[in-house]
Amino acid sequence: MKKRPDGFWHITSIPFEVRNQPYEFKTKFGEVQREYSKVSFDKEKAFKGQAEFVSMGHPLLEGCIEKIFARYRQTAGEGATFIDPEGRRDGVIWFCEAEIKDGSNDIAGKRLFTIYQNVKDGQRAFSLINPAILWDLKPLSLQDASSEKGRLGDEGFHLGVSDMDAIKSFVITQGL
């Protein structure tokens, strides 16, 4: 990917594994091209400069997302662990996607909810928070992981069915 003199991007080559999509993908999003000569990720700039606007729903972005999910689905399912370097929060942050379907069972809307679950002193209280909090946290290193395991004990933080039900109930009652 190269920056053009006019401020747009030139994507010189798209890997075959991103372009090689099944028929269902192509009918939904379109064909991923071998190259994109004038691209912008800013809608207004793209339309003013007659460039290709790449965002959610564009075949290139959707193709990249598909390949990332295919490659890392199992790892992503394990979740990620972060620490609060300022020590303000001690708990779990849940990212929950909720969707509403219309009478035809088509998705009419989606929303991302970010729920903080305080685990300090066994409270396990929930609150809605801004998803941008992730920018303030840092990924847990292997060294930090061993000290966290010692702090949490051998059992660590485990969820039961009642915890998942409580999270769903909180999103429905407080988020919608």
Say what the pTM is.
0.55
Angstrom distance (rounded) from CA 137 to CA 105: 38
Backbone angles phi, psi at 98, to 5 degrees: -115, 145
Residue 123: the pLDDT is 67
Q: Are 147 and 81 in contact (CB under 8 A)?
A: no
Mean pLDDT of the residues in the chain: 84
Residue 4: pLDDT band by 50, 70, 90 thresholds?
A: very high
Angle at 91 between CA 74 and CA 99, to 5 degrees: 55
Question: Residue 44 pLDDT more than 80?
Answer: yes
Q: What is the pLDDT of residues 17-35, one digit of tens each?
A: 999 999 999 999 999 999 9
For 117-138, b/e burial (b = at least 16 CB within 10 A) is: beeeeeeeebeeeeeeeeeebe
Residue 163: the pLDDT is 72
Of 11-20, 97-106, 140-149, the poorest mean pLDDT is in 140-149
Question: Residue 141 pLDDT more than 90?
Answer: no
Residue 121: the pLDDT is 64
What ranges do the domains of the chain cover?
2-76, 82-175
Structure tokens at 137: 């946290």
Of 70-79, 94-103, 104-113, 129-138, the poorest mean pLDDT is in 70-79
Angstrom distance (rounded) from CA 117 to CA 115: 6
- How many helices, marked H, and strands, marked E, lie in the chain? 6, 9
Q: What is the pLDDT of residues 142-168, one digit of tens each?
A: 666 666 555 554 444 555 445 778 888
Helix, strand, or coil (residue 131): helix
Residue 54: the pLDDT is 96
User: Which residue's entry shows tokens 């401020």?
Assistant: 7
The percent of residues in the chain predicted with pLDDT above 70, rounded, is 85
Residue 40: the pLDDT is 96
**Bridge partners (DSSP) listed for residue 127:** 116
